[in-house]
Amino acid sequence: MKILFVASEGLPYSKTGGLADVIEGLPRALREMGHEVVVLLPRYRGNKAASVLISSVTIALGDQLRFPAIVEGKPIEGVRYCFVDDPEYFDRAQLYGDRNGDYPDNAERFAEFSRAAIEFVKRVWLPDVIHCHDWQTGLVPVLLRTQHARDPAVRSLPSVLTIHNLAYQGVFPRTALEAIGLPPQLFTMDALEFYGRMNYLKGGLIYADYLTTVSRRYAKEIQTPEYGAGLEGVIRNRGERLVGILNGVDYSAWSPEADSFIAQNYSLHNMAGKKACKKDVLAQYKLPEDNLDRPLAAIISRFVDQKGFDLIVEIADELARENMSIVALGTGLPVYEKAMKALAERHPGKIAVKVGFDNALAHKIEAGADIFLMPSRFEPCGLNQIYSLRYGTVPVVRATGGLDDTVQNFDGATEQGTGFKFEEYSGEQLLDAVRRSLAVYRDKQAWRALQGNGMAKDFSWKTSAASYVNLYEAAKRSRIPRVSGTSNRR
């Protein structure tokens, strides 16, 4: 099968979040299964290209014409990478915005990208299915089923849209509709209109042939008012075409057996190196070595409400009174950066914080910590809890989205389970879950069994990729022209 991925970011070229990891891992897994895969990305600052495929593509955006190029990078593990090259739109310091907020022309930037994706299909490489990701590519299904509905080159091309995080929807003023060249007929409740504004993701949800999201529980949650962010009704209406497929992880990069960043490699059957990794993390954070004998809890995260930082800040002083130490790595809202630094100042020797992101240090923390804290308010999938399982670092998580799908509560009587979960979003419940983990930590035999359970889990991309192939086949069948006496429900 020929599969085109259209996304706004993807490793190794660009990244702001977990979407980029998916755009690296899933195409490679599909390629290993024998499928032909091309990834189309914007060409951001620093992205190198090997050749020009089309020097100028004419893109109409309202009353203006733009002329991006289509260029190609070097293949990586059999996957082709191509780019929409428009320096005015994409050669910027950041992908989506700066310190002042989102770029004011994001509607135009990603409308051009979506239109260029269809031109790529028509002029460079025709796939069997086009797989779109998040709001930045939500217009691709809209364009296919409206302005290109009678275009013989693409009218039968099926599209799949993956929701990586419903909180980000691409909502713009009504005037953006004209600016990007869409007809006023699409500004309705049954199309892109969203409380008097236009919504790119809503358009994709309505017009894509199939929808996916990145865990089974999140697929259910986003159909409720609590998690649906105003789109729960739209998603429920497409419920028969919505599938939750858990993200995979790349164990070639995240595995204690082969990780080149950590102080000493170790494995499920030989855990000796984990203590050396813990000692290294304590040194990185300048924490006293006497912390080596007490459990080390870790946080690697954006410092934002979604990740549960209000709960962490609420109970951090109580955690500091427990026989444990805490290290944190990340960036985010200034209020939480300040609060986390203040906690470290109040509890020197037990809590240490580094504001910023350091990939090597993230690997060291996963290997050296005993417990990983991830009390998210919501979490479509989550990756760090899956990394933690492989490193024998026990996750303490809220039972939501992918966290609920990937972590099973530990039962001391049967020694079954992989971590500790709590349901109610409250500091009290988080504190209780942490204390449960500390109680098991004191029982070395039970703790070793708990670590082993997690390390034996397999969340590689192979299973997820097979599920996507089944979905692509279903999407292809959905676009087969109707035969007399049959229906072709969209």
* Among candidate residues 465, 475, 472, the one with its CA nearest the CA of residue 30: 465
How many whole angstroms separate alpha carbon 114 and alpha carbon 143? 8
Q: List beta partners, residue 69.
A: 85
* Among candidate residues 194, 176, 44, 41, the one with its CA nearest the CA of residue 104: 176
pTM of the model: 0.90
Question: What's the CATH class of domain 2-248+462-478?
Answer: alpha beta
pLDDT score at 486: 36
Contact present, 444 and 452 (Cβ < 8 Å)? no
* Among candidate residues 260, 155, 141, the one with its CA nearest the CA of residue 206: 141
How many whole angstroms separate alpha carbon 392 and alpha carbon 447? 10
Burial environment of residue 34 by CB neighbours within 10 A (0 to 12, 13 to 18, 19 or more): exposed
Two structure tokens written together for 181: 């060249």
Contact present, 295 and 371 (Cβ < 8 Å)? yes
272-458: which CATH number, 3.40.50.1220, 2.60.40.10, 3.20.20.190, 3.40.50.2000? 3.40.50.2000
Residues of the chain with pLDDT under 50: 483-490
* Among candidate residues 299, 413, 310, the one with its CA nearest the CA of residue 351: 299
How many whole angstroms separate alpha carbon 260 and alpha carbon 277? 12
Same fold: 2-248+462-478 with 272-458: yes
Contact present, 188 and 126 (Cβ < 8 Å)? no
**Contacts within 8 Å (CB) and 24+ apart, 411-418:** 412/440, 412/443, 412/446, 415/446, 415/449, 415/450, 415/453, 416/453, 417/450, 417/453, 418/389, 418/394, 418/450, 418/453, 418/454, 418/457
* Among candidate residues 382, 246, 358, the one with its CA nearest the CA of residue 308: 382
Rg (CA), the chain: 24
**Residue 366: what residue type?**
E
Other beta carbons within 10 angstroms of residue 111's beta carbon come to 28
pLDDT score at 482: 54
How many whole angstroms separate alpha carbon 203 and alpha carbon 191? 6
How many whole angstroms separate alpha carbon 156 and alpha carbon 149? 8
- Residue 131's H or E segment, with its range, is strand 129-133
pLDDT score at 488: 33
Two structure tokens written together for 286: 């300048």
How many whole angstroms separate alpha carbon 279 and alpha carbon 449? 22
For residue 37, what are the CA distances in angstroms to 75, 200, 280, 323, 389? 10, 25, 40, 50, 30
Contact present, 69 and 55 (Cβ < 8 Å)? yes
Contact present, 479 and 158 (Cβ < 8 Å)? yes
Residue for token pair 């026990």: 394
How many whole angstroms separate alpha carbon 120 and alpha carbon 201? 21
How many whole angstroms separate alpha carbon 25 and alpha carbon 472? 17
Burial environment of residue 108 by CB neighbours within 10 A (0 to 12, 13 to 18, 19 or more): buried
Domain ranges of the chain: 2-248+462-478, 272-458
Instruction: Report the first-to-last Cα separation within the chain, whole angstroms.
Output: 22
For residue 172, what are the CA distances in angstroms to 179, 352, 427? 11, 40, 35
Q: List beta partners, residue 197.
A: 194
DSSP string, 26-81: HHHHHHHTT-EEEEEEE--TT---SEEEES---EEETTEEE--EEEE---BTTBEE
Going by the DSSP 8-state scheme, the letter that residue 135 receives in this structure is: G
Q: List beta partners, residue 311.
A: none
Per-residue pLDDT tens digits for 305-363: 999 999 999 999 999 999 999 999 999 899 999 999 999 999 999 999 999 989 899 99
Which parts of 322-400 fold into alpha helices (H)?
A: 334-346, 359-368, 384-390
* Among candidate residues 409, 415, 407, 404, the one with its CA nearest the CA of residue 388: 407
At CA 131, angle to CA 130 and CA 132, rounded to 5?
115
Question: How far does CA 348 lie from the centroid of its chain?
Answer: 34
